[in-house]
Structures are given as C-alpha cells and as structure tokens.
Amino acid sequence: MSLKLGVPSKGRLMEKTFSWFEKRGITLSRSESEREYAGKVDGIDGVSLVLMSAGEIPRDLASGRIHLGVTGTDLVQEKLPRWEQQVEEVSPLGFGQADLIIATPACWVDVDTLDDLDAVAAAFRKTHGHRLRIATKYHRLVREFLSDAGVSDFTLVDSQGATEGTVMNETAEAIADITSTGETLRANHLKILSDGLILKSQATLWRSRISKYSAAEKQVLTDLLDRLG
C-alpha cells in the first residue's frame, strides 16, 4: 500500500502543482498516455499519484480514499460541512488565488455594502413579486455568509458556469462567484460590494483526517511532510 496523493488532472492547476512539488525534489508526472488519469511519482518512495477533477478532491479527502490532495480552499469549504474536522491544511501552494465575492450591477450606484443589498432586496421583492436572485455555485458558503450578515429576501439560483452573464440575461440580479482579476466582472458591468468578500481562496495541499494510515504509510507521510516543509 502507498500514500495516495490526489492532484487536479488538467490544465494550469496540474502544471503548477507539478512544479511546486518539483521544487521540493519530488517529480510528479502523468503516465505515457495523456488519456489515462494515472500518474508517476519520482524522488520519494511509497507515494502514488491519483489524477482527478479538482471538484472531487474534497469529497475523496473526506471519505478517506486519498490521504493528501491539492484543491482550492473554496471547494473544500463549500463541499465539506465542518471541513476543519475532516481535513487539515498542510500548505498553501501560492497559486490559483481567487476571491469568492458578491457582485451587483455596476449601475446600482446606491449599492455599496451588504446593508444596501439587503435594503434593495426588500424593495425589489415588493416591486417585482419575487426575491432578489443571486446566481452562484457556492450555495452553502453564500447562504451562510448572507444569513450571518443579516441579508434577507434573497434567493440563490444555481449557476454552474458563465455566472457573470446571468445578470445581463435577467435570470439573476446579483452573483456570487470567484474572481482573480475582476476582468470578467467588469466586462459584464458588475462591481464587487465593498464588504462582499466571502473567502480568499488558493490552491492548497490538504491532509485527510479520515484516512487510515498503516505504520509504513505514517512513516512516508512524515518523510513527505519533512520534504515539503
């Protein structure tokens, strides 16, 4: 048996994760065929690489199917209730930075804070006969954030992609999504609320608190964490 490390299977996130480990003397690579989601680990014994979708890594950490995994803080906190008890942060990796934020149309000059959003939501409901819709895929995080801030009269509508476009299409009045440069928001005539930062996310290496470790695996983990530290 070996220690299982889950890494996003595609794109920049995978490449940057590979080079982060490379700098620490551990070479991760995809196996010969690009189609096969299996990987190779050189530079340390007893670790096996599992390539998978970044969105599935939190769940596999929580179920204990993998011991270590690289994914964003946003996905861990959205997908895992009581995430601190299921996973432990080993190290932030310094890339994949993105903020989960609340944004409204830039033309809402009267709206700058969550308080404004709440007041507008009340008036909007009266005028339009339905709650102010906020498009997002981060349902748990957004609902908890808004409830905690005392925002009422909103409803979350699910949007798994192109969330910024929902306002222009009038399927939502505001959005909650991740942004790194804010460019897409501006292109869609949206602005971030001044107190609308829900979470700062970045790619992070996590350790599962649920996985079982054999004595050998425990030793490998200690060695690995030493190398990464």
Partner 1 sequence: MPNRSQIQARSAAMRLRFEAAGARVVDPPLLQPAETLLDLYGEDIRARAYVTSDALRGEQMLRPDFTLPVVQMHMNEGAEPARYTYSGEVFRRQEHDPDRANEYIQVGYEVFDRDDPAGADAEVFSLFAMQLRGLPLRAATGDIGILTAAVQGLRTTDRRKAALMRHLWRPRRFRTLLDRFAGRKPEPEHRAGLLDAKDPMAYEMPMVGKRRASEIEARIQALREDRETPPISDTELAGLESLLAVRETIPFALEQLRDVAVDLPQITPALDRLERRIAALQARGVDVEKLDFEAAYGRTSMEYYDGFVFGFYAEGRPDLPPIATGGRYDALTRQLGKGAEIPAVGGVLRPDLMLEIEGVA
Measured CA to CA, the distance from residue 93 to residue 79 in angstroms comes to 20
Distances 3 to 179, 211, 212, 220, 228 between C-alpha atoms, Å: 33, 10, 10, 7, 15
Q: Please, what is the minimum distance in Å from the beta carbon of residue 189 to partner 1?
A: 5
Residues 107-136 that bind partner 1 (CB under 8 A): 107-110, 112-113, 115, 118-120, 122-124, 127-128, 131
209 binds partner 1 (CB under 8 A): no
**# residues contacting partner 1 (CB under 8 A):** 40
Cβ neighbours of residue 114 closer than 8 Å, sequence gap 6 or more: 102, 146, 149, 150, 151, 193, 195, 196
> 133: which residues sit within 8 A by CB, 6+ positions away?
154, 155, 156, 157, 171, 172, 173, 174
Q: Which of the residues 55 through 94 are near partner 1 (CB under 8 A)?
A: 81-82
The site map against partner 1 for 164-193 (x = CB under 8 A) is: ---xx-x--x--------------xx----
- Sequence-distant (≥ 6) Cβ neighbours of residue 54 within 8 angstroms: 8, 13, 70, 71, 72, 75
Q: Among the candidate windows 47-55, 56-64, 67-75, 146-154, which touches partner 1 by CB under 8 A?
A: 146-154
* Tokens 């409830």 found at: 147
Q: Is 210 in the site for partner 1 (CB under 8 A)?
A: no
Binding mask 22-61 for partner 1 (x = CB under 8 A): ----------------------------------------
Region class of 93: left (phi > 0), else alpha (psi between -120 and 50), else beta: alpha
**Contacting residues toward partner 1, per CB under 8 A:** 81-82, 105-110, 112-113, 115, 118-120, 122-124, 127-128, 131, 139-140, 143-144, 146-147, 149-150, 152-156, 167-168, 170, 173, 188-189, 194
